[in-house]
Every structure is written in structure tokens, then in C-alpha cells.
Structure 1
Amino acid sequence: MAELRINTKWMAAASGEPEVTATAALLDMYVDNISLTRNQDIWAETVRDNVFVSAYPLAMWFASSWWRLNHEPLPTQQPGHDWRMVHELGAANHGFVWPRVIFIPDGEAIHVWAGTSMMPDQSVQYLQALEVPRMITLSGFQQSVERFMHSVLARLDAKELAGSNLAHLWTLVQEDLADPDAVRRRKLEAELGFDPEECPEQALDAALQWESQIGDAALSELAPAIAASGATPDLALIGQLAGAGGIVGTPDISPDSIAHLEHGAPWERAIHDARALRHLMGNVGGPVPDCSLHDLLGISSEAATNWSAPVGRSPVAVAIPLNDHQLKFVPRRRNLAGRRFELARFLGEYLRSSTREARWLASTDLSTSRQKYQRAFAAEFLCPIDSLTSFLGGDFSSYAIEEAAAEFDVSEQTVTSLLLNNGYIHHHWTDGLPYRMAA
């Protein structure tokens, strides 16, 4: 995991609002040894790792964005203006030119993306892009921001500006952090896409009631996925899923059947677990028949094949605990290959947690750590990368990928993703950013 550092060298400023001029600084921001603020100052004709700005608007942005910055994942579609204002550093604004940096949480870590900013009409040109996003632990990110916040507040105190809006806002954040019930509500508001106290009270109460029934981990997956789909924030869709028909099964394996990897990125843990399960099955690299997958989940192959998804496209699929260790699977994929992959995702999610936890399992299109684990587990379990590359024999053409997808009974997208994630083919990011931004 990487480390975020934000440093300030306080400077004098000629004019402006008191809080802004008092916190004028040469500011640098690093992820490990990479400067995200490396820039070319057009007027001064210099290249340096720090930039002359005020730390106050940046601190205000961190404080006002705190809950969503830490808990609101990237939506599956192009994010809207509201989401971007609380995740893109440039929203600190106040007339300063900021680097193109995006902070995206996944439930375990903050992913930092950075792209160059070379606008010809700007006095500052940011030069550094990250080829791949860097991951910072959630606690590490919070500690880095808190250190920066304390330095700005100390500077304001020294300048006899202790009663600033920033001090008031940060006090509110600290009060909420000290109250477990407030943390619960703020986190859920953020997952639903709302700033503190802006979620309709009735909707928030309804969502909190679901938490006691489905578990907080499942709610943290379902709430943002349902909210991002445009459904009502009261999560009425959860009630529809609870009452829907499904494929009932009693898994024929327990989480304790394999030795889990307890460290590393979600996909690293997932690959380890998928390989451990294959070793247990005695099938290290061959295709996994449908009947083997269904047996592990304790479901009928006939029921799985004949399952008909509800009318309309659901943004989520769930597995709901019944009695006697039974689960009711409610898939959403209509094609057989997609449903097979979805069931493999549920298998991975089931294996990664204790059977004593009577909670829902949730599968979505979001990029949270749990969903990354599920997708990586299902891909490696159904189509092991070593077996895949052996089958392809160095041929990564579309025809070869199509043949491999048929061999392992997965989608061509799964094969392509495996090759991308393992470096056999290359992904062209949008200038170091996860989605297209205006120049």
C-alpha cells in the first residue's frame, strides 16, 4: 500500500480573504515518492514539485467531502457533476489551479488516480500522471488528511483566525466520528450519494432498518449500487428481492475448507482462494463443469439452467440466508455464461466469510473491494490464468479469445479481463484517469 503526504511551506500573500492569505503556501502532495504537484510555472519558467496556492480551500474541500470521499464508490456509469465535486481535487477551486487527482474509495482502500493538466491558458501546467492507480489504506488516507488539517488549523490559530468556517466544519466531522450511531448514518448517507443530513430522513430510516436484516457489509454493497441505478434511496428494491423466487441450495463446502490468504489486495486473496479450492477439488487447471459448480453451492443444475430472471434489469444479485444453512440465490444474468460467472462469484463470497454470519451476499457491478474479490475469484476459478495462457499459446487475437471463452465456458470479456489484469495485453487508460474528463 502507498502513503499519501501533503506538506506546506507557509508563505506571505499580498491580498485576499484572511483565511486564504494566512494559509498561502508552497504545497506539495506525494504518493510515496511520486509528486502529484510537479508542475511547470509558465510565468516563472520553472519546474518544481510544489505549487504556490492557499491550503485553506483544499482543507475545506477535504472537510466538506470527508464522508463521501471515504465511503462513496465510483458509479458504474460516467460519474455526474455531484459525484465529481467530492472526489476530484480540482473542486477545491477558489481560483487556484489544482492537479487532476481523483480519490476513489473501495471499502478497504482509497485509489488515487492522477493525470496531467496541460491547458495552454493556465499559468501552471501539472506534469505528473499515474500509469496505474495507487492504493492507500483507508486508515492511512484518513491519517494523512488529518495531519494536513491539523497543520492548517494550527496556522490559522497562529494568525488569530481560530474561529474559521474550517474549524467549525472539522469540529462537526470529529463529533460525528466520536459517535458510533452518527458514523453509521453518515456512512450510509455517503453510500447513497448524499452529503451529511441531506438524505431524506424517511429514506435513511428505511435503509437503516434493512441493515439489521441483511447485515451492514451487504448493505454497503447494495446501497450504492441501487442508488447509482436511479432507484429510490429507500432501497425498496431490497424488499422486492427478499420476496422474489430464487434458486435454493445448501452449499456443500464451508469457508473453513480452505486456508485463506489474510493479506494483500482483494484480487490477490481471491486468486489464492480460487486455487486452494481447485486443489481441494482435485482439478487444478481444467474447465469446471456446471455440475461441479452447482454441487459446491448445493443447487439443482436443472433449477440453475431453467432460472428466469425477473422482468427488468436489476443492478444487483443477492443470496439470502434461509434456514439450516440454506441460501436462496436470486441471480440477475439472463445468459447462461453470465449466470455461471455470477454463481461462481457467490461461491467466492460465501467462502470468504464465516458460516455463522446470517447475512445476505451481494453481487454488483461496482468496484468495491468485495466485488473485486468476487470477480477475481470467479475468473480464476472458472478460467485459471496459467491454463488460459497455455491454451492460447501466445495468440491473443479475437478469434483465439473466442475459442478460449468456449473452452472454459466463460464470456470473452472474462478472458480479456484476465489477460489485461495479468499483463498479457495492455489497457489504455484515459490519461491516467478512470473516466474521461474535460481537458
Structure 2
Amino acid sequence: MAEMSIDVQWMAAASGEPEIQATAAWLGISVDGVSLTRNQDIWAKTVRDNVFVSAYPLAMWLANSWWRLNHEPLPRQQPGHGWRMAHELGAANHGFVWPRIMFIPDGEFIDVWARASMTPNQSVQYLQTLDAPKQLGLAGFHKSVEQFMGSVLARLDAREASGSDLAHVWAILQEELADPEMARRRKLEAQLGFDAEACPEEALSAALQWSPLVGDEALSELAPAIASFEASPDLALIGRLADADGMVGAPEFSFGDIDHLRHGAPWERAVHDARALRQKLGNTSDPIPSQELQGLLGLGRDAVAAWPAPQGRSPVAVAMPTNGRHLKFIPRRHNPVGKRFELARFLGEHLRTAPRGARWLASTDLGTYCQKYQRAFAAEFLCPINALLSYLDGDFSSYAMEEAAERFDVSEQTVTSLLYNNGHLHRQWSEDMPYQVAVA
């Protein structure tokens, strides 16, 4: 897990608003010792790891964006202006040239992306690109931001500028964090794509009403997926799903039937759990027949085949508790391979967490910790990487991968993702920020 630091060396400034002058500084942002503020000053013809700016705009941006920075995942489609303003550090603006850094939360961690910024005619050219995102723990991210905020507020006090807007915004944020019900509302607002207090009260109340039905964890998965898909924050789709017909089954295994990793990246825990389940089944490498997969979820032989293809597109698939151990599954995929992968995701999600009353299982296209786990579990369970490598025997041609996909009854995209994620194919990261993320 990476660590972030935000360091300031206070300097004097001759112009600007009082708060801007008071917090003029050499600013350095680094992740695991990699300077994300390393830059070339075109006028001074120097290269250094910190940049001369005012810390005040950055502190204001962090305070105002807090809830979305921590709780709003990357949408599946191209993010809009509001999302970018809350997640790209350049939105701190105030006339300064900021590095191209993006923060993307997944519910457990925050991924930090950075790209070099060599915009012509700018006085500062940022030089650092991260080849892959760095993963920050939420506690570590909070600690680094709070330490930076404390330094900025102390500097304002020392320069007799203590009654700033920043002090007011930060004080309100602390009150919200200390109030569980208010924090819950702010978190849901962010997941629905709104700044604090910007979500219409009627829509927020309508969204909150679903929590007792689906569970808080499932609501955190469903809210951003449905809201961004339907452009409607009231989450009325949940009601339609609750009333819909589904496939009912009693899964054969549950959380306590395998040993779990308690910590780690979602793919690490998912691969461990998939292998543990295969070990329990006595099949560590052979393909899993669809009939067996359905049986693990307690679904009848013909249940999936008889399931009518859903009308139109849906942003989510769900499974909801009913009649004790039974779950009502409402998939969304049309093609057989997609349905099979979706059922494997449900199996992984059912195994992932201990039962806690009425809790829906939610499967979406978002990049949250939960969804990353599901995709990694399904990929490893249906197509174990070691078995895949043995089958390919060093042949990574498109023809060989197509045959492998057919053997394990998964998509070619799943095979490709497994090879990428395990370092057997080289991924060309986009030169732009990651507005689309690959999924299995």
C-alpha cells in the first residue's frame, strides 16, 4: 500500500489576496517517494521536486471535494465536468499551474494517477508520469490531508488570517464527520454525483429509503451505478428490481465455508478465495461446467437457460435474500458467456462477506473494491491463471487466446485481462487520464 505526503516550505509573496499571500510556499506532493510535483521551470531553467504556488487553493479544493474524493467512484461512461472538478487536482486552479493528478476512490482505497504535463507556453512543465496507479489506504490518505490542512491553518493563524473561508469549510466538515447520520447523507450525496448539500432533498430522501431494504453496502454499489446510468438520484430502479421475477436458489457454500484473506487488494483476496473454493471442490485446474456453476448457486439445471433475456440495458444485476437461505437472482447479461461470468460474480460476492441480515448482492460495471473483487474472483474461478498458462504453453497469439477462451467458456476479454493482470502481456497505459477502465 502506497503512502502520500504533501510538504510545504513557507515563503514570502508580494501580491495576491491575503490568504494567497500568507500561504505562498514551495509545495511538494509525493507518493512512495516519487515526486508528483517534479517540474521544469521554463523561466528559471531549473528542475526541482517542488513548485512555487499558494497552498490555500489546494487546501480549499481538498476540503470542498472531501466527500466526493472519498466516496464517488469513476463512472463507467466518460465522466462529466462535475466529476472531474472533484477528482482532478488541477481544479484547485486560482491561476496556478498544477500537476495532472487524479484521485479515484473504490470504497476501500484511493487510486492515484499522475501524468506529465508538457503544455506549450506554460511556465511550469510537470515531468512525472506514474506507469500504473498507486493505491492509498483511506486512513493514510486522510492522515496526509489532515496534516497538510493543519499546516495551512496554522500558517493562516500565524499570519493573522484565521477567519478564512478554509477554516469555516474545514470546521463544518469536521462536524459532519462526527455526526454519523450527517456523514451517511454526505456519503450518499457523493455517490449520487453531487457536492455536499447540492443533491435535491426530495431525491436524497428517496434514495435513503432503500437502505433498510438492500443494506448500506449494497446501496453504496447501486447508487452510483444507477444514478449515472439513469441520470436520476432517486434510485427508483431498485423498487422495480425488488418487484421483478427472478431465479431462486439456495447457494451451496457461504462465507464460513472457506478460509479468507482478511486484508489486501481486491484481486489478491479474490484469487485466494477462488482457489480455496476450487480446492474444496477437488478441481484446481479443469473447466467448471455451467451446470456445476449453477448448482453452486442452488439453481436448477434449466433455470438459466429458461431465464428470459432482460429488456433493454440495465446498469446492475442483483440477488436479494428471500425465504431464509434462498436468493432471488436477477441477472442482466444476454449472451451465455456473459451470463456465466455474471453467475460466477454472484458466487464470489456471496462468499465475500459474512451475512448481515437483509443485504442484496449487487453487480455493476463500476470500479469499486467490491466489483474489482467480483471480476477477479469470476475470472480466476472460471479460468485459473495457472491452468490458462499451461494450456497456452507460451503461445499468446490471438488464435491461441481464442481457443483458451472457448476451452474455459469465458470471453476472450477475460483471457486477455488475466494475462495483462498477471504480467504476461504488456499493457499500454493511456497517455490521458483513465476515463475508461478495463474490466474482465
User: Shorter-chain TM-score: what band?
Assistant: over 0.9
- Is the contact made by 1:114 and 1:432 (CA closer than 8 Å) also made in structure 2? no
Q: Which amino acid is the alignment partner of residue 13 of structure 2?
A: A
Structure 1 residue 363, shift from structure 2 partner: 0.2
1:8-58 deviation digits (Å, cap 9, x = unpaired): 000011101010011000000010110000001111111000000000000
Change (3 A) 1:38 1:55: same
- Is the contact made by 2:248 and 2:299 (CA closer than 8 Å) also made in structure 1? yes
1:179-190 → structure 2 map (5 Å cutoff): 179-190=179-190
Write the distance in 2 (CA, Å) between the matches of 1:358 and 1:229.
25
- Is the contact made by 1:39 and 1:50 (CA closer than 8 Å) also made in structure 2? yes
Residue 173 of structure 1 corresponds to: 173
1:9-28 → structure 2 map (5 Å cutoff): 9-28=9-28
Write the distance in 1 (CA, Å) between the matches of 2:253 and 2:221.
24
Residue 30 of structure 2 corresponds to: 30
Which 10-residue stretch deviates more, 427-436 or 44-53? 427-436
Structure 1 residue 230, shift from structure 2 partner: 2.9
Residue 340 of structure 2 corresponds to: 340
1:279-332 deviation digits (Å, cap 9, x = unpaired): 000000000001111111000120111212331100000001001210000000
Residue 400 of structure 1 corresponds to: 400
Structure 1 residue 432, shift from structure 2 partner: 6.8
1:333-369 deviation digits (Å, cap 9, x = unpaired): 0001000000000000000112343300000000000
Write the distance in 2 (CA, Å) between the matches of 1:321 and 1:203.
26
TM-score normalised to the size of structure 2? Answer: 0.98
Structure 1 residue 206, shift from structure 2 partner: 1.1
Write the distance in 1 (CA, Å) between the matches of 2:306 and 2:158.
71
Q: Which amino acid is the alignment partner of residue 397 of structure 1?
A: S
- Is the contact made by 1:8 and 1:27 (CA closer than 8 Å) also made in structure 2? yes
Write the distance in 1 (CA, Å) between the matches of 2:163 and 2:355.
51
Write the distance in 2 (CA, Å) between the matches of 1:239 and 1:97.
47
- Is the contact made by 2:310 and 2:334 (CA closer than 8 Å) also made in structure 1? no
SS of match in other structure, 2:110: strand
Residue 416 of structure 1 corresponds to: 416
1:36-94 deviation digits (Å, cap 9, x = unpaired): 00001111111000000000000000011010010000001111111000100000010
Residue 68 of structure 1 corresponds to: 68
1:255-334 → structure 2 map (5 Å cutoff): 255-334=255-334
Q: Which amino acid is the alignment partner of residue 242 of structure 1?
A: A
The size of the alignment, in residue pairs, is 436
The answer to whether 1:134 aligns with 2:134 is: yes
- Is the contact made by 1:41 and 1:47 (CA closer than 8 Å) also made in structure 2? yes
Write the distance in 2 (CA, Å) between the matches of 1:101 and 1:233.
28
SS of match in other structure, 2:111: strand
SS of match in other structure, 1:366: coil
Identity %: 69
Q: Which amino acid is the alignment partner of residue 39 of structure 1?
A: N
Change (3 A) 1:432 1:31: farther
Residue 249 of structure 2 corresponds to: 249
Q: Which amino acid is the alignment partner of residue 417 of structure 1?
A: S
The answer to whether 1:201 aligns with 2:205 is: no
Structure 1 residue 393, shift from structure 2 partner: 1.2
Which 10-residue stretch deviates more, 354-363 or 338-347? 354-363
Residue 80 of structure 1 corresponds to: 80
Write the distance in 1 (CA, Å) between the matches of 2:174 and 2:128.
33
Q: Which amino acid is the alignment partner of residue 323 of structure 1?
A: N
Write the distance in 2 (CA, Å) between the matches of 1:148 and 1:71.
20
Q: Which amino acid is the alignment partner of residue 177 of structure 1?
A: L
TM-score normalised to the size of structure 1? Answer: 0.98
Write the distance in 2 (CA, Å) between the matches of 1:207 and 1:393.
51
SS of match in other structure, 2:27: strand
- Gaps of at least 5 residues in structure 1 are none
- Is the contact made by 1:113 and 1:432 (CA closer than 8 Å) also made in structure 2? no
Write the distance in 1 (CA, Å) between the matches of 2:352 and 2:149.
37
Q: Which amino acid is the alignment partner of residue 303 of structure 1?
A: A
Structure 1 residue 251, shift from structure 2 partner: 0.7
SS of match in other structure, 1:157: helix
Which 10-residue stretch deviates more, 385-394 or 225-234? 225-234
Write the distance in 1 (CA, Å) between the matches of 2:208 and 2:388.
44
Q: Which amino acid is the alignment partner of residue 18 of structure 1?
A: P
Write the distance in 1 (CA, Å) between the matches of 2:279 and 2:82.
47
SS of match in other structure, 1:229: helix
SS of match in other structure, 1:153: helix
- Is the contact made by 1:129 and 1:431 (CA closer than 8 Å) also made in structure 2? no
The answer to whether 1:121 aligns with 2:121 is: yes
1:373-394 deviation digits (Å, cap 9, x = unpaired): 0000000000000001111111
SS of match in other structure, 2:185: helix
- Is the contact made by 2:285 and 2:387 (CA closer than 8 Å) also made in structure 1? yes
- Is the contact made by 2:213 and 2:358 (CA closer than 8 Å) also made in structure 1? no
Residue 41 of structure 1 corresponds to: 41
Structure 1 residue 433, shift from structure 2 partner: 3.0
Q: Which amino acid is the alignment partner of residue 116 of structure 2?
A: T
Q: Which amino acid is the alignment partner of residue 119 of structure 1?
A: T
Residue 111 of structure 2 corresponds to: 111
Structure 1 residue 404, shift from structure 2 partner: 0.7
SS of match in other structure, 1:132: coil
- Is the contact made by 1:249 and 1:326 (CA closer than 8 Å) also made in structure 2? yes
1:90-105 → structure 2 map (5 Å cutoff): 90-105=90-105
SS of match in other structure, 1:301: coil
Q: Which runs of 4+ in 1 moved over 4 A?
A: none
- Gaps of at least 5 residues in structure 2 are none
